[in-house]
């Protein structure tokens, strides 16, 4: 966690984040989320990481596919370095306190706040009348995920910033309405060179598992040939790479590939450009693809190994759910007392 990150002083630092098991993990998920989740285990904070299956079902999921994708996501977390002895790794639906606190938050949050969420607008599109009620309430459940643990820090990619602001709004309104500083005002942790990895085909669009073109993304399960081919075909401009970061202005595709290189190699963008400035893409792309294969192939082979051991995965997740419940239950109990439903 960076020096600049502040936490609400009354709360012990605790890290929470989640990913939807909605199928397929991309390089964006790895660099923007999982790699950073693993790094946060090394800072001495308690870390909880979750598969948010209740968020996934806000849009249709085939039941068998959801089961498989949830295990695959667990395998992705473990293969990316989440250590179940140092982090609590679990499935959202196994800890009922998330849904219970979400209901309270549905009664704290306002319709107008939800209507302003860009994810709601994007996902519901023109057909809002036909979108699920769960999709609309999605951010209140997300706030519950975080606040049921009194989590103080939430590492995510750039696209989740607005949802985390809403989490802060819900905590602030709850604390204000009930006259006590019960929930922390959570800090988003959006850091590093890869907070927004872009499509390989269009530097103005986020790399996403839902893009119809498979060539637009690197999947965490892609083999070396697929990775090399996608990078070779990635859109670029005709110029050589600049030697300084400001030379990437107005060059979104070049910026994206440099950011990916920086994040994969653990260097700053400036360091990368000192090394590769002046090189044409025909030289830089093979460097990038060697690096990507080098970093991703051990992860994809470990994922494949774990997927052959579903019992091992399920045992880790049950243990995680039990440990998560030990933290969540007293916080939910206290919430019910504050609201006047018990006590």
Which amino acids are annotated catalytic?
A: 123, 206, 209
Three-state SS for 231-286 is: HHHCCCCCCCCCCCHHHHCCCHHHHHHHHHHHHHHCCCHHHHHHHHCCCCHHHHHH
Closest by Cα among 97, 79, 90, 39 to 303:
79
Per CB under 6 A, 160 contacts ligand AMP: yes
DSSP H or E stretch at residue 17: strand 14-19
Nearer to ligand TRP, 166 or 231 (CB): 166
Q: Of 169, 286, 307, 151, which is closest to residue 231 (Cα–Cα)?
A: 286
Using CB under 6 A, list all residues that contact ligand TRP.
16-20, 52, 55, 142, 145-146, 154, 156, 160, 163
CB of 206 to ligand AMP, least distance (A): 4
Instruction: Tell whether residue 84 is a contact of ligand AMP (CB under 6 A).
Output: no
CA atoms within 13 A on the CB side of 94: 20
Q: Which residue in this structure is represented by tokens 């604390």? A: 175
Q: What is the largest CA-CA distance in the chain?
A: 69
Using CB positions, name the residue nearest to ligand AMP: 32
Is 125 or 266 the residue whose CB approaches ligand TRP more closely?
125
Chain positions 22 to 41 lying near ligand AMP, rule: CB under 6 A, are 28-29, 32-33
70 binds, among ligand TRP, ligand AMP, none (CB under 5 to 8 A by kind): none
Residues in the chain, overall count: 343
Looking at the Cβ atoms of 52 and 306, the one nearer to ligand TRP is 52
Q: Is 264 in the site for ligand AMP (CB under 6 A)?
A: no
- Residue 207 sits in the site that holds ligand AMP (CB under 6 A): yes
Contact pick of 142, 156, 227, 317 for ligand AMP (by CB under 6 A): 156
159 touches ligand AMP (CB under 6 A): yes
């Amino acid at each position: 966690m960076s020096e600049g990150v502040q936490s609400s002083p009354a709360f012990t630092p605790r890290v929470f984040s989640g990913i939807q098991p909605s199928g397929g993990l991309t390089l964006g998920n790895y660099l923007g989320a999982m790699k950073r989740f693993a790094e946060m285990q090394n800072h001495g904070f308690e870390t909880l990481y979750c598969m948010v299956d209740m968020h996934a079902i806000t849009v249709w999921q085939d039941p068998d596919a959801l089961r498989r994708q949830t295990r695959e996501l667990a395998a992705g977390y473990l293969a990316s370095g989440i250590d179940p002895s140092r982090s609590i790794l679990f499935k959202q639906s196994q800890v009922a306190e998330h849904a219970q606190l979400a209901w309270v938050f549905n009664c704290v949050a306002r319709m107008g706040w939800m209507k302003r969420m860009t994810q709601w607008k994007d996902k519901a599109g023109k057909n809002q009348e036909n979108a699920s009620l769960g999709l609309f309430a999605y951010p209140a459940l997300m706030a519950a995920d975080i606040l049921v643990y009194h989590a103080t820090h939430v590492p995510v990619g750039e696209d989740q910033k607005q949802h985390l602001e809403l989490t802060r709004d819900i905590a602030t309104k709850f604390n204000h309405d009930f006259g006590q500083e019960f929930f922390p005002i959570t800090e988003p942790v959006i850091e590093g060179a890869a907070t927004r990895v872009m499509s390989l085909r269009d530097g103005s669009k986020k790399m996403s598992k839902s893009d119809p073109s498979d060539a637009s993304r690197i999947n965490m399960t892609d083999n070396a040939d697929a990775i090399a081919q996608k990078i070779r075909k990635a859109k670029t401009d005709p110029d050589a790479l600049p030697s300084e970061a400001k030379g990437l202005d107005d060059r979104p595709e070049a910026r994206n590939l440099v950011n990916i290189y920086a994040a994969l190699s653990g260097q700053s963008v400036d360091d990368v450009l000192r090394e590769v400035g002046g090189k044409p893409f025909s030289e830089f792309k093979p460097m990038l693809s060697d690096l990507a294969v080098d970093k991703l192939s051990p992860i994809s082979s470990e994922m494949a190994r774990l997927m052959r051991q579903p019992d091992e995965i399920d045992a880790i997740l049950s243990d995680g759910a039990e440990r998560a419940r030990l933290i969540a239950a007293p916080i939910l109990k206290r919430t019910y007392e504050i609201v006047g439903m018990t006590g």
